[in-house]
Structure 1
């Protein structure tokens, strides 16, 4: 079974090679993302394995189908970058890893919140310079605060439970309410009520055509002054131009993001010796109350092991299945 990997990093090679027990799979690794510019290079493979910023649109899928590719394997939970209708039309199955380690992402979200609130990143740098002043490092107790969680799938559920452990009041919005969370004290409300009541809002939902820029100017106007927003899901859930205006007007008290709308141009690479031409990202990074990490919420040993293991299991199963006209392209 031959697999072509795109957007490959050294850790992808490490974890997928260690899970290739018995040498069942033959790998081809490409550092570039998959898109129209490289798809013609795909030859004699059964599967393409892609990540969050690969562009698997109808044009790319048509070429993959011509070249005999049978499966598009996402080594992530989100699938907004794949044209599922085109995949189904061409009889290509799609698989993903929806539950590799929800705790990894939830815990990183909490780490970002604590860092942004208690300013531990600034305190660390100060002490290294022998500056032991506490001025400018004031935070607030999370205990007793109201947390709004948008999306209570596996990651959102893990995040809710952590915040309940902090003694927070947790409000949630999801199209499908989780009965276990309700029994544990999480209150489901409308999205507008969540915006109005929450001190901190955390996004844990997939990106779809319906919720792109769900946090935009009108959304921010419904929120409390000084609200903190967290996003470890997908960058396009937030209108970046609108969030900058909300930061400038002090509507937002803080922003912590592990994802960014245009991240494919900068994330997962070392640009320390490069002039970054993305003025919007540069503006975001200029705010003292903005914390950005480069899509690392998933990045734990446990998560990467599960991603590799589940992806290969999906592929092995999928090569023995057929995508029917009645079934969706997804393989569980």
Structure 2
């Protein structure tokens, strides 16, 4: 079995080659993302393994089918970048990693919240310059704050457990409320009520056509002045220009994003010696109350181990039985 990996970095090779000792698959690694520009380079592979910024639209999937690809293996939880209708039409199966160390993303979410609130990144730089002043570093207690969690799947649950440990009050929105969370004191409510009542909002939902730009001018208008928003889910949940306007108007007090709607042009690359032409991200990063990390939330040893293990197991399962528990179907 030959597998073509796209959007690969050195750490992908390390973890997948380590786990491949069990399977003996043949790997080809491409640093570029999978899209129309590279799809014709595929030769003699039966599986493509892709990540969050690979673009598998109808055009790409049709070529994959012509090349003999039978399986698209996503080494991530989200699958909004795959045209599932086209995949089904051309007889290509799709699998993903629905859960991999949800604690990794949840802990990074809390790290972003704490960094923004207590300004530890600024304090670190000050002290290195022998500036021990506390002016401008004032934060607030998370204890007894009302945190609105949108999406209470595995990652949302992990974040809620952490936030409850801080003594926060949790309100949540999900299409499928979790009784165990209700028993733990989480109050499910409507989106509008969550927007209205939350001091802090954390996004942990997948991107769907229904929630595209969930955070926009209209929803922001319902929120408290000075609300804190953290997004470690998908960039297109937030309308970036509307968020910028809300920052200027002090509607958003703190904004932490580990994802960005145009991230495929930026993230996972070293652009330190280039001129970034994306004026929007440059403007975002100029705000003193905005923290941007480059899709880093998943990046722990435990998560990468589980991603490689579960991706290769799904491929092996499909080879042997024709299906896997992690298959994505319409």
Structure-2-length-normalised TM-score: 0.98
The 3-state SS of whatever aligns with 1:148 is strand
Moved over 3 A (4+): 320-323
Output aligned runs, 1:98-247, within 5 Å: 98-247=98-247
| Residues in 1 aligned to 2:161 and 2:168: alpha-carbon distance in whole angstroms | 10
Match for residue 76 of structure 1?
76
Q: Structure 2 vs 1, CA of residues 147 and 35 (structure 1 numbering), >3 Å: closer, same or farther?
A: same
Aligned pairs for 1:1-16 within 5 A: 1-16=1-16
| Cα shift at 1:270 | 0.6
Count of residues in Structure 1 that have an aligned counterpart in Structure 2: 328
Q: Which residue is 1:330 aligned to?
A: 328
The SS at the match of 1:19 is helix
The CA deviation at 1:322 is 4.2
Preserved contact between residue 44 and residue 68 of structure 1 (Cα < 8 Å): yes
Describe the SS at the equivalent of 2:284.
helix
Q: Over aligned residues, Cα RMSD in angstroms?
A: 1.3
1:50-89 pair list within 5 angstroms: 50-89=50-89
Q: Which moved more, 1:85-94 or 1:184-193?
A: 85-94
Deviations 1:47-96 (Å, cap 9, x if unpaired)? 00000000011111111111111110000001000011111111111110
Q: Secondary structure at the match of 1:4?
A: strand
Counterpart contact for 2:104–2:297, Cα < 8 Å: yes
Secondary structure at the counterpart of residue 147 of structure 1: strand
Aligned residue for 2:35? 35
Offset of residue 210 of structure 1: 1.1
- State the Cα deviation string for residues 253-309 of structure 1 (Å, max 9, x = none): 010000000000010011111110000000000000000000000000000000000
**Does the aligned pair in 2 maintain the 1:71–1:319 contact within 8 Å?**
no
1:250 is paired with a residue whose SS is coil
Specify the SS of the correspondent of 1:33. Answer: coil
Structure 1 gap segments, 5+ residues each: none
| SS of alignment partner, residue 228 of structure 1 | strand
Judge conservation of contact 1:87–1:329 (CA < 8 Å) in 2: no
Distance in 1 separating the partners of 2:159 and 2:186: 11
2:251 paired with 1:251: yes
Q: Please tell me whether residue 267 in structure 1 is matched to residue 281 in structure 2.
A: no
Relative to 1, partners in 2 of residues 1:155 and 1:329: Cα closer, same or farther, differing over 3 Å?
Answer: closer
On the 8 A contact 1:246/1:252 being kept in 2, the answer is yes
